[in-house]
Structure 1
């Protein structure tokens, strides 16, 4: 049974995801109950488990209401269990479970928060990255360091290029404008930016995106590229130093 993945816009710019597979229906993050309940009822699905990526309120705000309504399990990062709603199961890095395309692996991707995790479905070529790797961007370093986030992104960048990246926010249009300040002559980025503008004019989500597309256009994955280094005047810097400069520029963009 292949996975059926439903993208659910929540709040002003968040995304939650329903994942229906051989083991039932899972929800990746719970920003807002109303749209999630509507998506479930529209399909006649019941919710089996909520899988949290990190402790920020815009990713866990609806956990209590959904658990009360559906009696579902709640899972989340073991490293953040003291900051999360009560967990039925705390997930360590490297944990895996599920059957067939529903096989899911927990990946530690700290940087945005110290215990942030991603949910990787290798047989389905899908990963839910929330506020670590994002479409044309990455999350702000609220708790971690540039070294930590760069290491996390490098781990994600090493996945198969056909992997689809399901991130947590609709920030892609603003991310594209920033990315063009780093690589104004990147033809793939220019083309992607035009497609993003068209999607947003028609109120279409810009996620998911393939890892191959992110590798070709996302400045936070391109610290080793000479075009990026020349633009920043950092030819001889380390990749982590280049990443830190890009992140600092995005913070004040």
Structure 2
């Protein structure tokens, strides 16, 4: 539902010359309204309204990237702004729920869950972007444009942490005589761990927050973040590295089977 809505809005946004950065900031404002609704988790109508506003925020989160690509205005600054707005909404939601709970235990859970969320999201975004790039046979060693500005460089360094951890496969892909073929074989094998890692998307968290607030117990979401989502991230990352090692240590590969619909849901743009 979210990306189709974004695609329907894209022509109108382009026609009215609405910039990607404007959409990112609008998404932040919508997410702020959602956080205020979740602060009243004791009343189910506010939980429902919070879900509706959260979906609208996710639409904006996807639309800004669509606009940037359609208008050729993508930039490192815009990418960083998009990431800051995304994380900002979740921080506001966590703080709003912690204030509503109003206990030391609640704040402790919110802080730990927030730290886990930041780590998981950063790792997942790196894995997702790398997966889609490699599937096209493009290695990081091919070179990328250097970001300018200390803030953008710091953001890119943080987001690029998984890339550095997986550099051995990047070298293997870069040195391959058939990068596209190797990329296709890698993608077919890596799609399973990537689907597990896709539990880290904002869509899953938004639904989990809504269900926890609907039950009038936001602590359930924080425990879900700390426990199951962390476990899924650890297993998915280890699984993905194992797939990479398979190709690093292999010298001969069977012909690639054309994977049916390689797809990993994209959340950030």
Q: TM-score, normalised by structure 1?
A: 0.29
Structure index of larger Rg: 2
Higher relative helix content: 2
Q: TM-score, normalised by structure 2?
A: 0.28
Q: Relative contact order (alpha carbons < 8 A, sep ≥ 6): 1 or 2 greater?
A: 2
